[in-house]
Amino acid sequence: MKALVTRLDSFGDVLLAGPAVRAVAARARHVTLLCGPHGEPAARLLPGVDEVLVWESPWTGFQPPAVSRAAVESLISAVDADTALVLTSFHQSPLPTALLLRLAGVRFIAADSEDYPGSLLDVRHQRAPQAHEAEAALDLAAAAGFPRPGDTRLRVLPPPPTGALTGPGGYVVLHPGASVPARAWSPGRCAQTVRALAAAGRRVVVTGGAGERELTAYVAGGRAVDLGGRTGAAELAGVLAGADCVVTGNTGPAHLAAAVGTPVVSLFSPVVPAERWRPYGVPCVLLGDQRAPCAGTRARQCPVPGHPCLEEVTAYDVVAAVDKLVEVLR
């Protein structure tokens, strides 16, 4: 069997598909993961993936491309599978993807779908209410004939050694950035937390992408190791794996921390439900008002002045949460 698993969203979404990918890989002789460009770095970290196929979909992402006949035809030509699992978030339709996979000759397609699929799906599955994204993907895989693996935690391939970047172990990572502003704690609060953690005797490493160097330099403030723009996905996995704890918002590095088994203090804005998107399978302390007026809005910019769901969390709340997680693991 040649199988294809699709997850066309972001870095964290692809990581959450990992357990379902391993379930498929246990039965298939070849697994292709079809993802978008933002998910590609995560796709290349997942065990069980033989091939990564990258395609930018016009129905996902914050700035989707215009529909292009040439791009669609290129994807149809590139797909080589007889079985497909279409993974989507709870608010997305799998049917556009399913249509293209049918045109590519895929004979068996399974997906969660609220909409009538006609002949596009062979398995139209209904996800359990409020199911975590990783659990929902595993449930769909089982319905399609791919039983759950014995280990359902998030996993990535072994990361490279990163001691030259971080120094010795025994540090806390603070990742201040997020994919959208509504999910980010303010730079001021992050900088206060670095100072508070340092005052509590903890060594801090601040991480961020290539476009976040100014942010990480401000947050580190000379009191933490600043790795802004200095890690790719694999190196970031290594940095997170060496940490005692990771402090971050609801963003990809939270799921990468879970994939390397590191506990997470999650500054979780409730614009999406925590029960579906919280760090999966690791000890976690969730901070932030989950009943705030923005709950469930999927807003990219906070609709409430002052961003109170996260700004009411203090640096000392984070220090206490870090202490709690580190103590639990001793």
pLDDT tens per residue across span 2-43: 999 999 999 999 999 999 999 999 999 999 999 999 999 999
Residue 272 lies in a domain: yes
Strands (E), 60-194: 83-86, 108-112, 123-125, 171-175
> Over the stretch 231-273, which tens digit does the pLDDT of each residue have?
999 999 999 999 999 999 999 999 999 999 999 999 988 888 8
Q: Do 100 and 34 reside in the same domain of the chain?
A: yes
Query: What pLDDT, on a 0 to 100 scale, did the predictor assign at position 320?
Result: 96
Q: Which residue has the tokens 């595993």?
A: 138
Q: Which of 45, 109, 48 is nearest to 83 (CA)?
A: 109
Give the number of domains in the chain. Answer: 2
Q: Do 120 and 200 reside in the same domain of the chain?
A: no
What is the gyration radius of the CA atoms in the chain, in angstroms? 20
Strands 264-267 and 225-226: unpaired
Helix axes 95-103, 69-78, angle to 10 degrees: 60
**Integer distance in angstroms from the first to the last C-alpha of the chain?**
45
Residue 152 lies in a domain: no
Query: What pLDDT, on a 0 to 100 scale, did the predictor assign at position 269?
Result: 87
Among 112, 143, 174, identify where a domain stops.
143
Residue 158 lies in a domain: no
Contact 171, 203 (CB under 8 A): yes
What are the respective helix, strand and coil percentages of the chain, to the nearest 5? 35, 15, 50
Per-residue burial over 245-259, b = 16 or more CB atoms within 10 Å of its CB, e = otherwise: bbbbbbbbbbbbbbb
Contact 4, 25 (CB under 8 A): no
Residue 155 lies in a domain: no
Q: Do 134 and 20 reside in the same domain of the chain?
A: yes
CATH number of the domain that 55 lies in?
3.40.50.2000
pLDDT band at 148 (very low <50, low <70, confident <90, very high): very high
Query: What pLDDT, on a 0 to 100 scale, did the predictor assign at position 41?
Result: 97
Q: Do 88 and 229 reside in the same domain of the chain?
A: no
Mapping DSSP to helix (H, G, I), strand (E, B) and coil, where does residue 192 land? helix
Q: Do 69 and 178 reside in the same domain of the chain?
A: no
How many helices, marked H, and strands, marked E, lie in the chain? 14, 12
Q: Do 218 and 289 reside in the same domain of the chain?
A: yes
Q: Do 191 and 281 reside in the same domain of the chain?
A: yes
Q: Which of 162, 288, 248 is nearest to 256 (CA)?
A: 248
Query: What pLDDT, on a 0 to 100 scale, did the predictor assign at position 63?
Result: 87
Q: Do 135 and 89 reside in the same domain of the chain?
A: yes
Global pTM?
0.95
Q: How many whole angstroms separate alpha carbon 40 and alpha carbon 296?
A: 27
Q: Do 248 and 309 reside in the same domain of the chain?
A: yes
Residue 299 lies in a domain: yes
Per the DSSP assignment, residues forming a β-bridge with 4 are 32, 84
Residue 150 lies in a domain: no
Q: Do 223 and 307 reside in the same domain of the chain?
A: yes
Domain of residue 82: give its range.
Answer: 2-143
CA distances to 24, 49, 95, 188, 315 from 102, rounded to whole Å, are: 19, 22, 10, 50, 52
Residue 233 lies in a domain: yes
Q: Do 260 and 313 reside in the same domain of the chain?
A: yes
Query: Rounded mean pLDDT of the chain?
Result: 94
The token pair that represents 35 in the structure block: 């993802």
Among 91, 113, 143, identify where a domain stops.
143
- What residues contact residue 267 under an 8 Å CB cut-off, 6+ apart? 185, 247, 248, 249, 250, 287, 288, 310, 313, 318
pLDDT band at 184 (very low <50, low <70, confident <90, very high): confident
Average pLDDT (280-295) is 89
- pLDDT surpassing 80 at residue 328: no
Residue 294 lies in a domain: yes
Query: What pLDDT, on a 0 to 100 scale, did the predictor assign at position 330?
Result: 64
Among 83, 113, 143, identify where a domain stops.
143
Q: Do 71 and 180 reside in the same domain of the chain?
A: no
